[in-house]
């Protein structure tokens, strides 16, 4: 398999950047569509792709560019319009398509955009296929013969199909009646479908972040800004609230008292519900990431479940789930995976699993998660100077400070030191039950690099 270093444009979640700056330009995206389309045309006699997008104003430009690129390569195109990323993955699979493409920069501001691909099974493309698309972009690209050009049409029932899929992920014997929910759609791709799902399952829904204008996606709302949801839940006297991000694959929830619950806590709720409904034998282990809270790991161990950590990124969580054959995993950021229900992370489907746990237990979210007390995590970002960029792993001062910190923690906590994948920073994180101790150790570790 190709590594990230071998790919110029594709990262862990597609291609992403600032609109108008390479590679997020109309001409690049046109060539991307032609290159990907030429590959699909070789593998299928009647290739068809689905294109969905979030609510960014730039989506119109890149939607048109992708459509032209695919059609010129001989690929038929279905246009879904604004649609959550997991909806595109589901529709690509259920409609037996060649691929699904999402135009979105997820939780980023509107000035950014991106392109991500799913194969016909609703799964993200393997590294090797992304690399092959990039290599084709470097070669001359030719238009298909006039009698082989692709056609484009609108998929008018995309939203309805996805709503029914989400509803099937909620236990048939349960109902959301008598629950008052605040649903924050982040002014993003789920603004039409998310409130409808919870309403049709019986909840009283108060929607927010559901009036996109092309520029306000993720702006002060959604999973990356849950404080707005917390205030709305308390003000409305709601039972709980849920926040999605701009493309609908991330989830953060809020209790009736305004407390914000992270992805680690929601994953724990999903695991408990799975064990309660299907028995301990139904679940061998759970996958988190290097950033998953130590308290989650210890809580799962008490339940008799194995816990493994993947690299940061839902892509790597998915890879480890496939390797182990396990079904549940996620990130503290709110990317949650339940492979019994979907091929990719889905904020709405994940919320329904947590709500099912609440309804089945008769407990509020705060009560349901009352026995999980997350450890404080203190992180310090240390600028990576040229001398440190390649040599921090061999830094003698850091090695000595790390050995001392781990000896002091003696299994009561952990230290994580990693280079940022997006900025010239070294992230130094200490996690233990005592915040003051975590803060002091993090500062000592950071100071050792001076």
Q: Average the pLDDT over 177-190 and give the result.
A: 98
Q: Average the pLDDT over 7-29 and give the result.
A: 94
Claim to verify: residue 289 and residue 179 sit in the same structural domain: yes
Rounded mean pLDDT of the chain? Answer: 95
What is residue 236's predicted lDDT score, i.e. its pLDDT?
A: 98
What is residue 373's predicted lDDT score, i.e. its pLDDT?
A: 93
Claim to verify: residue 392 and residue 282 sit in the same structural domain: no
Claim to verify: residue 345 and residue 439 sit in the same structural domain: no
Claim to verify: residue 112 and residue 176 sit in the same structural domain: no
Percent of the chain with pLDDT over 90: 90
Q: 338, 373, 408 — which closes off a domain?
A: 373
Claim to verify: residue 387 and residue 328 sit in the same structural domain: no
Determine the structural domain holding residue 388 and report its residue range.
377-447
What is residue 450's predicted lDDT score, i.e. its pLDDT?
A: 81
423 pLDDT exceeds 80? no
Q: Average the pLDDT over 200-226 and give the result.
A: 98
Q: 373, 400, 415 — which closes off a domain?
A: 373
pLDDT digits (tens, 9 = 90+) for 151-179: 999 999 999 999 999 999 999 999 999 99
Claim to verify: residue 382 and residue 369 sit in the same structural domain: no
Claim to verify: residue 146 and residue 204 sit in the same structural domain: no
What is the side-by-side strand order in the sheet with 76-82? 15-18, 112-119, 99-103, 48-53, 76-82, 152-154
Q: How confident is the model at residue 421 (pLDDT cuts 50, 70, 90)?
A: low
Catalytic residue among 58, 72, 106, 332: 106
Claim to verify: residue 406 and residue 338 sit in the same structural domain: no
Q: 156, 182, 213 — which closes off a domain?
A: 156
304 pLDDT exceeds 70? yes
Q: Cα separation of 280 and 276, whole Å?
A: 8
CB neighbourhood size of 161 (10 A): 16
Q: Cα separation of 52 and 87, whole Å?
A: 9
Claim to verify: residue 367 and residue 383 sit in the same structural domain: no
What is residue 1's predicted lDDT score, i.e. its pLDDT?
A: 38
Claim to verify: residue 117 and residue 55 sit in the same structural domain: yes
pLDDT digits (tens, 9 = 90+) for 57-107: 999 999 999 999 999 999 999 999 999 999 999 999 999 999 999 999 999
User: Which CATH number covers residue 217?
Assistant: 3.40.120.10
Specify whether the CB–CB gap between 314 and 274 falls below 8 A: no
The total of structural domains in the chain comes to 3
User: Which CATH number covers residue 382?
Assistant: 3.30.310.50
4 pLDDT exceeds 80? no
Active-site annotation holds for 106: yes
- Torsion angle of the four alpha carbons 221, 208, 194, 159, in this order, in degrees rounded to the nearest 10: -100
Please give the model's pTM, rounded to 2 decimal places: 0.92
């Amino acid at each position: 398999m190709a590594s990230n270093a071998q790919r110029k444009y594709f990262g862990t979640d597609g291609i992403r950047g600032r609109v108008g700056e390479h590679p997020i330009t109309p001409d690049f995206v046109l060539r991307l569509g032609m290159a990907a389309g030429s590959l699909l045309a070789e593998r299928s006699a009647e290739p068809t792709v689905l294109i969905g997008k979030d609510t960014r104003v730039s989506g119109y430009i890149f939607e048109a560019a992708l459509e032209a690129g695919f059609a010129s390569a001989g690929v038929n195109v279905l246009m879904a319009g604004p649609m959550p990323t997991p909806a595109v993955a589901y529709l690509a699979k259920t409609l037996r398509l060649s691929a699904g493409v999402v135009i979105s920069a997820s939780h980023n501001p509107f000035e950014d955009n991106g392109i991500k691909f799913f194969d016909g099974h609703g799964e993200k493309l393997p590294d090797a296929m992304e690399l092959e698309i990039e290599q084709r972009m470097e070669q001359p690209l030719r238009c298909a013969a006039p009698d082989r050009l692709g056609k484009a049409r609108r998929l008018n029932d995309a939203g309805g199909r996805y709503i029914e899929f989400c509803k099937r992920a909620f236990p048939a014997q349960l109902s959301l009646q008598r629950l008052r929910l605040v649903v924050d759609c982040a002014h993003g791709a789920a603004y039409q479908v998310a409130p409808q799902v919870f309403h049709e399952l019986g909840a009283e829904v108060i929607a927010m972040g559901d009036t996109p204008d092309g520029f306000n996606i993720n702006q002060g709302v959604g999973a990356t800004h849950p404080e707005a949801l917390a205030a709305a839940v308390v003000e409305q006297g709601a039972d709980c609230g849920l926040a999605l991000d701009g493309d609908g694959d991330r989830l953060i929830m809020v209790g009736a008292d305004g407390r914000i619950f992270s992805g680690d806590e929601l994953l724990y709720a999903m695991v408990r519900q799975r064990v309660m409904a299907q028995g301990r034998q139904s679940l061998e282990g759970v996958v988190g990431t290097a950033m998953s809270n130590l308290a989650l790991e210890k809580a799962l161990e008490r339940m008799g479940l194995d816990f493994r950590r993947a690299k940061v990124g839902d892509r790597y969580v998915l890879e480890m789930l496939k390797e182990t054959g396990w079904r549940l995993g996620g990130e503290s950021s709110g990317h949650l995976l339940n492979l019994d229900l979907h091929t990719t992370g889905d904020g709405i489907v994940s919320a329904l699993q947590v709500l099912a746990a609440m309804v089945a237990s008769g407990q509020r979210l705060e009560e349901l998660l009352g026995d999980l007390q997350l450890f404080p995590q203190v992180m310090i970002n240390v600028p990576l100077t040229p001398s440190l960029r390649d040599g921090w792993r061999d830094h003698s001062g850091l090695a000595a400070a790390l050995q001392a910190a781990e000896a002091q923690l003696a299994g009561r906590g952990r230290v994580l030191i990693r280079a940022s994948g997006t900025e010239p920073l070294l992230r130094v994180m200490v996690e233990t039950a005592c915040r003051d101790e975590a803060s002091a150790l993090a500062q000592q570790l950071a100071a050792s690099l001076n």
